[in-house]
A and B are shown apart, each in its own frame.
Chain A
Amino acid sequence: MTVLLQVLLVFTCAALALWLRVKQRNLHRVRQEQQRIAGERDALLQFVNDAGKAFAASGDLELDELLSRVAFMARTATGAGAASLHMYDEQDRCFYARAIDGPAPLLVPLPDNATVSADSTDIQLEDLVFDTPIRGEEGLFREVIERGEPLWVTQAAADPRVPTFPIESRRIHNLILAPMRFQSEVKGILVVANSEKPQGFVELDMYLLQALADQTAISMHFGGLNEALQQKQLMDYDLDVARQIQRSLLPEDIPMVPRVQLAAMNHPARQVGGDYYDFIQLDEKHLGIAIADVSGKGVAGAMMMAICRSVLRAQASGVYSPAQVVKALNAVMSLDITEDMFVTLIYMVLNIDTRELVVARAGHEPPIVCTKNLAIRHIESSGVAIGIGSPDTMEETLEETRVQLNAGDLVVAYTDGVTEAQSSQGEEWGLDRFLETIKATAAEGAFRVLQAVNQEQSKFVGEAPQYDDTTLLVLKIME
């Protein structure tokens, strides 16, 4: 019995010892694992922190600076020897390296026209990476793009997809490529190469790199949108200011003139063109009437309009000859006007007692007279647009026409936005339809004519967008 007991004791001790040793080894392994995880967690936290800061600031960063930071983060977060970020160029249909960190390797075979040697400097090798385009159909990039997933190559030397390079410092030993994805688009490729960790790249590195790549793609997409939005906002602001200026130029009220009906309207278009009209009560007997159209758009056009209106009012005071006023207006505005911009203008003076209308026409559509009998004539006279001819030219060419109006006569002044308004088929409303509408409603009074022109033109144009202001003045002589 003693021998059996002794054997059992030894066996038990040995088993116990073995069990203890196994447990100890497990414990050691568990502790190591713990440390590893803790290390990775720290790295992850650090990465998230850095990336968060970088992307939060990305709205203010220039694109290249953002990309440089991303390359740096990619290298440090994954413990790589080098990183490179490649962006897709729509025009050239290939990828260009936009940022590198560390001695980034060339990811395609060395181009025929390039020479490298042991004497090549770092800058020369860097330039090689920046200058060599990579097409999406070749090698490593092709696979990444096709799969839309990161690619991790551990044994690069043996891998046929990885190009070889004559210089040791830039050889690829291992690498990870991650596509920069936004929706279904691959905007670029983020690459890390030659891990500096003893165990090499790990799976976490691949996930980190992909997360970074995607975040960069998102930032770039919205950064680009931001720029476009800012430009649009600037343009909208410009148009808003222009519209406000223009609105402030129009008369608040239409003057009440004994035995004369007056009606006026202005519909600004989407692209502010700058029409305006004005009534200037010269004295009890004389009313000045102006309608104008400026060639420049936006704020520049609106400012021209404002100047024109002020100068005209100043020149018109106490002067009953429209031609004289327009010549004086031109002389002043030629100094102010930007070359190439001009204003077309009708300025007329109505004698309320005698019903004589004196008209000066500076390059503008001639006013229309529709008599009681519905006969149409245009008040033609010679003249050049304001701001384009020298004062001498204006002096020589501008004339004024005197028209004796009678009870029942209707006078219409308009800008080309009225007749040139187009339907969605691209057809102009045109002078003929305009005249028909006038004739059809002349008997019913100035306001009715205005209303009818507005209605008929709107009906014809339908939903088609308008590019020019519509401005209209109607005057009817009553008994």
Chain B
Amino acid sequence: MKGCTIRQEQRDTFDILHLNGSLDAYSFSQLEDTLNELRDQDLNRVVLNCEKLEYISSAALGALIGFSRRARERHGDMKLAAVSAKIRSIIELLGFDKILELVDDVDTATSSFAD
């Protein structure tokens, strides 16, 4: 299973993480470190750009929910943008779309933080 690269971008008061590749138990730790770093710097508005995300394991999804919950506790959020149809169907199967916010693209995600 190939890994996942992460490219960080800062836009206004949000941080965008552009993901490319596959997220499973092994490659997830890198994303975890990045998210923890952002949280340590009190940067709680995060958008994951999943346009180039080919696969995400259910365990990784569970962990993302944990991050989004913690971000919300600090008046922020972690949203998923541009998720592929296949990954979306997994998220909906698990019912995680009731907890995680999924948006069509990065721009929609960042503007929705404004409120």
Residues of A at the B interface (CB closer than 8 Å) are 295-296, 339-342, 344, 362-365, 382-385, 388-389, 393, 396-397
Contact = CB atoms under 8 A, between A and B. Distances in A.
A340 B94 CA distance: 13
Contacts of A295: 58-59, 62
A331 to B, nearest CB: 16
Interface in B58-94: 58-59, 62-63, 65-66, 69, 93-94
Contact of B65 (A362, A382, A388, A397): A388
A385 B98 CA distance: 10
Nearest to B90: A416
A365 B89 CA distance: 11
Residue among B58, B69, B94 with max Cβ neighbours from chain A (10 Å): B94
11 contacts: A295-B58, A340-B65, A344-B58, A344-B94, A362-B95, A364-B93, A365-B93, A384-B96, A388-B65, A388-B94, A393-B99
Contacts of A389: 95, 98-99
B54 to A, nearest CB: 13
Given A365-B93, A388-B65, A397-B95, 5 more contacts: A340-B66, A341-B62, A384-B94, A384-B96, A385-B62
B96 A388 contact: yes
Contacts of B59: 295-296, 340
A429 to B, nearest CB: 16
B66 to A, nearest CB: 5
B93 A388 contact: no
B96 to A, nearest CB: 7
Given A363-B93, A363-B94, A365-B93, A384 B99 contact: yes
A93 B99 CA distance: 50
A340 B98 contact: no
B66 A385 contact: no
Nearest to A361: B95
A170 B13 CA distance: 62
Contacts of A296: 59
Nearest to A365: B93
A385 B99 CA distance: 11
A341 B59 CA distance: 7
A381 to B, nearest CB: 10
Contacts of B94: 342, 344, 363, 384-385, 388
A383 B62 contact: no
A385 B58 CA distance: 11
Contacts of A364: 93
B95 A383 contact: yes
Contacts of B58: 295, 344
A340 B93 contact: no
A388 B69 CA distance: 10
B64 to A, nearest CB: 9
B97 to A, nearest CB: 9
A341 B61 CA distance: 10
Contacts of A382: 95
Contacts of B98: 384, 389, 393, 396-397
A307 B58 CA distance: 20
Nearest to B58: A295
Contact of B95 (A340, A365, A384): A384
Contacts of A396: 98
A397 B97 CA distance: 11
A389 B62 CA distance: 10
A33 B65 CA distance: 83
A466 to B, nearest CB: 15
B98 to A, nearest CB: 5
A358 B15 CA distance: 45
A361 to B, nearest CB: 9
Residue among B59, B93, B95 with max Cβ neighbours from chain A (10 Å): B95
A344 B95 CA distance: 10
A340 B63 contact: yes
A295 B95 CA distance: 14
Given A295-B59, A363-B93, A339 B66 contact: yes
Nearest to A396: B98
Contact of A363 (B63, B66, B95): B95
Residue among B65, B66, B93, B99 with max Cβ neighbours from chain A (10 Å): B93
Nearest to B64: A340
Contacts of A344: 58, 94
A340 B96 contact: no
Nearest to A362: B95
Interface string B33-75: 0000000000000000000000000110011011001000000
A380 to B, nearest CB: 10
A168 B55 CA distance: 66
B100 to A, nearest CB: 10
When A and B form their complex, which 5 residue pairs have the shortest distance between CB atoms, in order from nearest?
A: A384-B95, A363-B94, A340-B62, A363-B95, A340-B63
B35 to A, nearest CB: 12
Contacts of A397: 95, 98
B93 A342 contact: no
Nearest to A293: B58
Nearest to B94: A363
A230 to B, nearest CB: 23
B47 to A, nearest CB: 20
